[in-house]
Amino acid sequence: MFQKKVIALSIFASLIMPILAVGQQPAAAPDALAKLKDEGMNRSQAMATIRYLTDVIGPRLTNSPGQKRANQWTKTQLEKWGQTNAKVDPWGEFGRGWELKKFSALVTAGEQTTAFRAYPKAWSPSTNGPVTADVVYIDATDEAGLEKYKGKLKGAIVLTAPERAVTENIFKPTASRQTDEALTAMENAKPAGPQQPQPAPTEQQKAAQMFNYKKTKMYFDEGAAVLIDSGFGVDAGTIRVMGASLPPNAPGTPPNFGLRVASKNAPATIPQLVAEVEQYNRLVRLIKQGVPVKMTVDLQTQFYDDDLQGYNTIAEIPGSDPALKDEIVMVGAHLDSWHAGTGATDNGAGTTVVMEAVRLIQASGLKPRRTIRIGLWTGEEQGLLGSRGYVAKNFATVGDGSDSAFFSLFTGGKPAINKKAEHEKFAAYYNLDNGTGQIRGIYLQGNEQLRSTFKDWLTPFKDWSATTVTISDTGGTDHQSFDYVGLPGFQFIQDPIEYFTRSWHTTQDVADRILEEDLKRSSVIMAVFAYNSAMTDEKLPRKSSPAALSASLLPGFDFRTELDEIRFRNSGLGFAICGHEVEGREIPTGFPSILAIADHRSHAAE
């Protein structure tokens, strides 16, 4: 058995011969890379890491007590594995922490009382004790229909969405892997051209937006007690839960890009729940049939405003080459999660893989020439905040570093990219944020110069079907924070498994949905990319210009208006959050939609 194992490692080592492209020397000795696979597949710590992170620490909503415990635990764990300069690093002001303390809901319809399966939205206020009230469904499609509900919403529990059909999903499989056809299409993708101008909103679209605004404003003006919707995209007992909504802006007024429901100066909002869709649909049907429905909701939450700063976990393996040790290769994933599950697939999986990757390098006794640094970000779910803050503090700012300067990239402005000294010393950043599915390749993020490099680095993983390199971009996760300021940042292609159909931002985002073999393989691939990048004579070639969007690349939108924010989400363009393709309506409340665009198309201008 021992002899067979040595032979197998030798075969693996012979396959990992890094490239001689773009003037680089071979990235690593074959025996070093064989050690990474041996350590990662035979002595993995991945499952121990993710189970502690999810089962013991639990959900990690940004600035919650759980997230802060996770910061401290990951710092300590990385130190135990030999990382240096480990720290819990502030990235800027986020806002209030929040935690669920108590929740129950009962519904009475006619003579029957049953438990009502729902979950509170993050940063929802409390009900200040049990609230028993009539359940009201606003069955209206225009402003005239709203009139009959005026004066009837004070103290009511309001259903805010129409009935949502689930029968179309009954025969669909919930889990899948990337098909050969899909991967081939990604491999053969061409550089994207400029977006076509979007037509101005029609009068019908404007009227629909005004109706939705007036309906939502009515909830707040009349003083509804609780708002309930049925979420989207999942059923069969799974509930997709994100953040509470603030009172709406009037159409045509500028959105406040920096204002979030967690902000210290956020206006008061109404307690909000997401219900299991089957439970929700039944209430809508009962009310339409004239059956009186009452509900009792008891929601107790706690806000934390003693420390409004957001924090990342940072640690590193120091470089060993005197000439290159000040250059940085980074691997990263977001540590924060939503709160209804335990943040296993989003993004305990990514956090585990990058932690395991740096552990593999150290446990194998390897000495990278460049410094390899790990970043575990928070505030990703609210707009890539932790990684953006870290990049601004260490590498470059957009304009003066403010939210308004950053978003002016997308509203026709041309703010300078103010580079710090460390910008030139940055080699590469690799991100993972798309669930438990194993890595199947990598997005070039528009940098065609790296195709042959990355193809060669993936060659040893042909037997894992992890060889796809695509020119395409992907959006909605932390590699963008580096890409926007001209740094080489990359997200890996992953198997979807059941990420969107079951676990993304849901009550089912728990450790039971994790695939051990996939985590192990992804950890090895991440370690190989980090180590190769740390060993080359020259840094990876960069794109000739940053990947930031501008009004000229997305013509027809004015992101300074609330109406165009909505129109952008409904434009038919591709969006992605946490590395997963979504529809515009699925972008979490408060997440700037411009950061979710999946195909930047900016590299076409190079």
- Model confidence over 367-419: pLDDT tens digits? 999 999 999 999 999 999 999 999 999 999 999 888 778 877 766 667 889 99
Q: Is 163 exposed, middle or buried (0-12, 13-18, 19+ CB in 10 A)?
A: middle
pLDDT per position as a tens digit, 351-360: 999 999 999 9
The answer, yes or no, to whether residue 14 has pLDDT greater than 60, is no
- Residue 11: per-residue pLDDT: 38
Considering the chain, what percentage of its residues have pLDDT values greater than 70?
Answer: 87
Spatial CA neighbour of 407 closest among 575, 544, 546, 550: 550
- Residue 18: per-residue pLDDT: 40
The answer, yes or no, to whether residue 570 has pLDDT greater than 90, is no
Distance CA 400, CA 392 (A): 10
Question: Helices marked H in 43-157 — which ranges?
Answer: 46-51, 65-80, 143-146
DSSP 189: P
CB 367 within 8 A of CB 324: no
State the pTM of this model. 0.91
478 band by pLDDT with thresholds 50, 70 and 90: very high
568 band by pLDDT with thresholds 50, 70 and 90: confident
Q: What is the mean pLDDT of the chain?
A: 89
Radius of gyration of the chain (CA): 25
Q: Hunting for tokens 């399966």 — which residue is that? A: 117
Q: Domain extents for the chain?
A: 2-96+307-605, 97-303
- Residue 281: per-residue pLDDT: 98
Same fold, 2-96+307-605 and 97-303: no
The answer, yes or no, to whether residue 219 has pLDDT greater than 90, is yes
605 band by pLDDT with thresholds 50, 70 and 90: very low
pLDDT per position as a tens digit, 491-514: 999 999 999 999 999 999 999 999
Pair of tokens at residue 152: 């009837």
Q: Helix 65-80 and helix 349-363: axis angle, to 10°? A: 10
Distance CA 119, CA 504 (A): 15
Distance CA 383, CA 380 (A): 5
Distance CA 530, CA 475 (A): 21
Spatial CA neighbour of 27 closest among 35, 14, 16, 37: 16
237 band by pLDDT with thresholds 50, 70 and 90: very high
φ, ψ of residue 133 to 5 degrees: the values are -155, 165
More confident residue, 498 or 603: 498
- Residue 561: per-residue pLDDT: 61
Q: Hey, what CATH topology would domain 97-303 get?
A: Glucose Oxidase; domain 1 (3.50.30)
Highest-scoring range by mean pLDDT, 24-33, 57-66, 401-410: 57-66
- Residue 9: per-residue pLDDT: 42
Per CATH, domain 2-96+307-605 is 3.40.630.10: yes
Find the range with the poorest average confidence among 128-142, 253-267, 377-391.
253-267
- Residue 412: per-residue pLDDT: 64
22 band by pLDDT with thresholds 50, 70 and 90: very low
- Residue 2: per-residue pLDDT: 37
The answer, yes or no, to whether residue 548 has pLDDT greater than 80, is no
